[in-house]
Amino acid sequence: MIRKLLALSLSSTLILSGCGQGTVSTPPGNGNSNTTPPPAPPTPTTAQAAIKHVVVIFGENISFDHYFGTYPNAANTGGTTFTPATAATVAAAAAGTTPLPATPTNINNYVSNPTLLTANPNLAGGNGASAANPFRLGPNQAATGDQDHSYGPEQMAFDDGKMDLFPLSVGTADGTTLTNQTAAPGIANTTALTMGYFDGNTVTAMWNYAQHYSMNDHSFGTTFGASTQGAINLVSGQTNGAVVTLPGAASGVVADGQGGFTLIGDEDPANDVCSSSSATVQMTGKNIGDLLNAGGISWGFFEGGFNLSLTNTTTNGVIGSGTGCLAGEATGSRATGAVNIPGNPLKADYIPHHQPFQYYASTANPTHIRPASVAAIGTSAETGAGKANHQYDTLDFNAALAAGNMPAVTFLKAPGYQDGHAGYSDPLDEQTFVVNEINAIQKSSFWSSTAIIIAYDDSDGWYDHLNNFVNGSQTTADALGFCAKAPTLGGVNTTAPVQGRCGYGPRLPLMVISPWAKKNFVDNTVTDQSSITRFIEDVFLSSTRIGGGSSDAVAGSIMNMFNFSSTVPPNPNVVLLSPTTGAVTSGN
């Protein structure tokens, strides 16, 4: 009887439920009708909504392997100790902070390619007595000689992609500074110096920024070449359209095959009172400054030493005499910050061929006119002849930031002694500048909507093992092999392919420091210097492109280094570093 009642009850339930259709499911939990529903998915945002300020810190002369060859594994035999994030350090993260993910393993360097340290292609006989594997330089060897980073020799070092002729083609024997440093390896005093690399005990700040924010390990110089090519590619993606304005610059350009010229040398800009009196060029076409002006976006390029009314007395001597183009920043400014490591020669703080906007008549400030006021810095009131025209000193950026005025787009160029360029600067001096600027921005009211990008102009000729060839050239300045392929990009005045833009060049570091950056993330997207231009265009200019053959139209995007999946930034904690040691002083 009981079985019949149970069967009847079950049958009735099935009939009423329509075999499961239209049933009301019980929410997970204890069955209580008051159970809290699951949280709604986050509301995504966009780069345009989240990012209101972009700051590009543009350093000098570093290849990726030179700074990150063994990342995240440091020798910890001197300098500042670096500990990579692991499951243990993640678990021990302080309560209330954003967890630090374990360091990614997808980085393309010596750690993922260990034979590069023991059986490197540059150990081959073509390099003669300077054949060598990569070797570590410690913090007490931070001051090194400058390597050859010219357009042609860099191509020769690549050897049609074999990457095996660096000591022969671009290496420069030190012979001066490293001999004064403790425990410098003997090979460092040959042309094998190009194979030297630093680790997290010297470039500690850079490794900490990579570990707490986002880094790209497939970013390249848009073309081969030195500082000028890198700086101009950063702001225009186009080294074609050069015009020789003083005859000494003729050797720095090459015929483009279409009736014009492409810049392949390090000649000074014509539109600068501090430039060479015998060799200058001017660039035609547009740059990102022209687009920002047209769009009504505030911006500025800030380079150390641009204010010619100031002098700079250092603990190592005096740069220049009185005022003028050899002057540096304010009296005593070096003594309060980093000071050149003994052995580094003194260098004028302002270097004209590091200032790309001075090459263009439309964005130049030839006589270094001072801004009308701190409040006017970067605004449209500064546009045009007879005005600062958006070209300033780094001290002007710091003054504007302190006053609550930060342009939407900022380019920061350190004074010469802090720009990291081997031969007259070093990683420790660079660290001081970079950390001080980033700390100041992070402490400001602008931090929550800011993206700081650290990038470089060229590799200095330091060895890097990776290449990515996308554009050929067939001139007498080009090496045989990959550069003999047909060119693909047009020029400033023609849609026909132009010569003199062989690339990509060497691999360079690229990092993003932002509340919106992915944390401890390595991006493998192929990018180049004009990818930064493209990002600025995408965020502020509705993806308007420069045109005239600019590589911004084909550049890879850096958007994968960010996380815009929520209106709440994924990386909100401020991580402050010591400008002296590069160690984290607060935040996680």
C-alpha distances in Å from residue 520, one per residue of 101, 201, 211, 488, 506: 6, 18, 4, 36, 24
Distance of CA 348 to the CA centre of its chain: 23
Instruction: Inform me whether the pLDDT recorded for 354 exceeds 60.
Output: yes
Q: What is the DSSP string of 114-148?
A: THHHHS-GGGSGGGGGG----EE--GGG---PPPP
Residue in 364, 400, 222 with CA at minimum distance from that of residue 289 = 364
3-state secondary structure of 527: strand
Mean pLDDT of 546-570: 96
What are 7-40's pLDDT values in tens digits?
434 344 333 333 333 333 344 444 455 677 787 7
Q: What pLDDT is stored for residue 79 in this prediction? A: 92
Q: Which residue has the higher pLDDT, 77 or 302?
A: 302
In the chain, what percentage of residues exceed pLDDT 90? 73
Helix/strand/coil percentages in the chain, nearest 5: 30, 15, 60
Arch. (CATH architecture) of 51-305+348-583: 3-Layer(aba) Sandwich (3.40)
pLDDT(222) > 90: yes
d(CA 348, CA 320): 7
CA distance 23 to 35: 19
> What is the Cα 337 distance to its own chain's centre?
22
Answer for the pair 409, 298: CB distance below 8 angstroms, yes or no: yes
Stronger pLDDT, 93 or 252, i.e. the higher one: 252
What does the domain layout of the chain look like in residue ranges?
A: 51-305+348-583
**Is residue 296's pLDDT more than 90?**
yes
Give the pLDDT score at 17: 37
pLDDT of 348 over the 80 cut: no
- pLDDT surpassing 90 at residue 488: no
Most confident range (mean pLDDT) of 12-16, 121-125, 480-484, 527-531 is 527-531
Cβ atoms 348, 305 nearer than 8 A: yes
- Which amino acid makes up residue 162? K
246-260, 305-319, 420-434 — most confident range: 246-260
Looking at the whole model, is its pTM more than 0.75? Answer: yes
| Least confident among 169-183, 271-285, 328-342, 412-426 | 328-342
Q: What is the mean pLDDT of the chain?
A: 87
Distances (CA, A) of 216 to 46, 213, 415, 447: 20, 11, 26, 22
> Dihedrals φ, ψ of 396, to 5°?
-70, -35
Q: Identify whether the C-beta of residue 558 lies closer than 8 Å to the C-beta of residue 216.
A: yes
pLDDT score of 320 more than 60: no
* pLDDT attached to residue 324: 64
Say if residue 331's pLDDT is above 80. no
Omega cis (within 30) before 504: yes
Q: Pick from 11-25, 83-97, 332-346, 544-558 the range whose average pLDDT is largest.
A: 544-558
Paired strand residues for 247: 279
Strand ranges (E), 333-459: 391-392, 409-413, 450-456
* Res. 99: pLDDT tops 80: no
